[in-house]
Amino acid sequence: MNTENQTKVEETKVDEWTKEFLISRKNGFTEVTDEEVAKADAFCEGYKMFLDLSKTEREAVEFGIAQAEKVGFVEFEYGKTYQAGEKVYYNNRGKALILAVIGEDGCNDGVRIAAAHVDSPRLDLKPYPLYEANEMVLFKTHYYGGIKKYQWTTIPLAMHGRIVRRDGTYVDIRLGEEPGEPQFCVTDLLPHLGTEQMTKTLAKAIEGENLNVLIGSRPVRAEKGSNLFKLNIMKLIHEKYDIVEEDFISGEIEFVPAFKASDVGFDASMIGGYGHDDRVCAYPAIEAILHCDKPKHTVLTVLADKEEVGSDGNTGMNSAFLRYFIGDLAKMEGLDPHAVMTKSKCLSADVTAAFDPTYASAYEPTNSCYLNNGVGVMKYTGSRGKSGTSDASAEFMAEVRRLLDSKNILWQTGELGKVDGGGGGTVAMYIANLNIDVVDMGVPVISMHSPFEVVAKLDVYMAYRAFKAFFEDQSC
Ligand code: MN
Ligand code: MN
């Protein structure tokens, strides 16, 4: 092209074109009003309470049911006729939950789903966890989900979960959360003796087999007998929970960080806490459906278990429970379940990584999500060339963009770090495999999977607004 002959454009034209044709990126905070920020801060007070109350999938499901019942949700009954506006829930084994509001059009044009998960990385007990060694008593653990093991040493831990005795009766345990209650910890070597350990890589310095939880150090007072330290602790456990050592075999005990969620920063703009992944999407999805009256389409909030270990298992998203539930709703309206699922749409409500300037080299700055820039919409996740992802269609992405923009909801898009930097998946693909339109939408997180993850309050609130808009929208 001969540049000589081109007329030079005026500067004002460049400004105009830039505005019209290019993406302009400002910090999300500058785009919202003080009133909206105040609403976000208020919303997050409820969220912090939820975090402290719901550190395991069972506790989150319990919370979800309790909140839902307060606003009129009742247990789903197959075969019953439901009217528009009726609210039901399906409790799958106390570890996964579906909340549903029947729409004006029922399932005629498919259902609208927000699906989050309520399990988080943690330390589970082994079947035979209890042992004594060198006059100390410990629990052996098997970690759950993707953790950096060194992060789980020398922090206060609390014991949560359920133990079912041989006769089927059970005891729920939650110890180390209330003031005055004992807490627990995984020990680490003192730096003075850490010369050899310090030469190891992060992956090797703390071994999975060494994630043992310290639970006692006094023996039974006796002249003879063996295992007196272990015996003393088991005796105390028996007094408190009426269980014997063998009962651990039928237990689901999780050791989780004992600290509470708190504001982070002088501006209190962020929240630090355990289990943002994925309770930071679960809570907005619960709140969205609790505040959704008479939607056009039937709407569902799904809280799944097992996401952190691949979504398999009957309470995971790879189980048929969602398919069965939608099928039941369809059949009760005389509709074909397959047709209903094909017309359904879903937001896979899971977190994404937020850009961390301290580890900038792990991210591709143009395609990253940032704190305070709103809820993240991810067309795809996965790793090694988009493996393990459903990849939303261009059409559905456009629909979601349109919806969020029409409601003035702050949102952003990005990828999980650099190509070939690693990656990760969500429940999106399991739902997409039912022939449902799915896109990932969630809150960006700093220090994901650590005991103290960080999110921005504004993003949490925008996730709530996004899920609510998706439920209430007539066009989507
Ligand atoms: Mn997640
Ligand atoms: Mn995760």
- Residue of higher predicted confidence among 211 and 27: 211
Q: How many CB atoms lie within 10 A of CB 39?
A: 17
Q: How far is the CA of 120 from the centre of ligand 2 (A)?
A: 7
pLDDT tens readout for residues 282-322: 999 999 999 998 899 999 999 999 999 999 999 999 999 99
Residue 360 has pLDDT above 60, yes or no: yes
Counting ligands in written order, which one lies closest to the CA of residue 282? 1
CA of 257 to the centre of ligand 2 (A): 16
Tell me, in angstroms, the distance from the centre of ligand 1 to residue 180's CA.
32
The rounded mean pLDDT for the chain is 96
Q: What is the DSSP pairing of strand 345-348 with strand 122-133? A: unpaired
Q: How many angstroms separate the alpha carbon of residue 183 from the centre of ligand 2? A: 25
The proportion of the chain whose per-residue pLDDT surpasses 90, expressed as a percent, equals 90
Ligand 1 mean position to 249 CA, how many Å?
28
Angle at 284 (CA atoms; ends 279, 289), nearest 5 degrees: 125
Nearest ligand to the C-alpha atom of residue 280: 1
Is the pLDDT score of 203 beyond 70? yes
pTM of the model: 0.96
pLDDT tens sequence across 297-306: 999 999 999 9
Is a pLDDT exceeding 60 seen at residue 34?
yes
Give the mean model confidence (pLDDT) for residues 412-425. 91
Task: Inform me whether the pLDDT recorded for 10 exceeds 90.
Answer: no
Question: 277 C-alpha vs ligand 2 centroid, how far in Å?
Answer: 5
Q: Which of 442, 69, 424, 468 is nearest to 301 (CA)?
A: 468
Q: Across residues 341-349, what is the average pLDDT?
A: 98
* 437-465 per-position pLDDT tens digit: 999 999 999 999 999 999 999 999 999 99
User: What is residue 293's predicted lDDT score, i.e. its pLDDT?
Assistant: 86
Q: What is the pLDDT of residue 5?
A: 63
What is the per-residue pLDDT for 476?
Answer: 58
**E strands in 225-374:** 251-257, 262-264, 270-273, 299-304, 345-348, 352-353
How far, in Å, from the CA of 97 to the mean position of ligand 2?
18
Q: What pLDDT, in 10s, does the model give residues 66-111?
A: 999 999 999 999 999 999 999 999 999 999 999 999 999 999 999 9
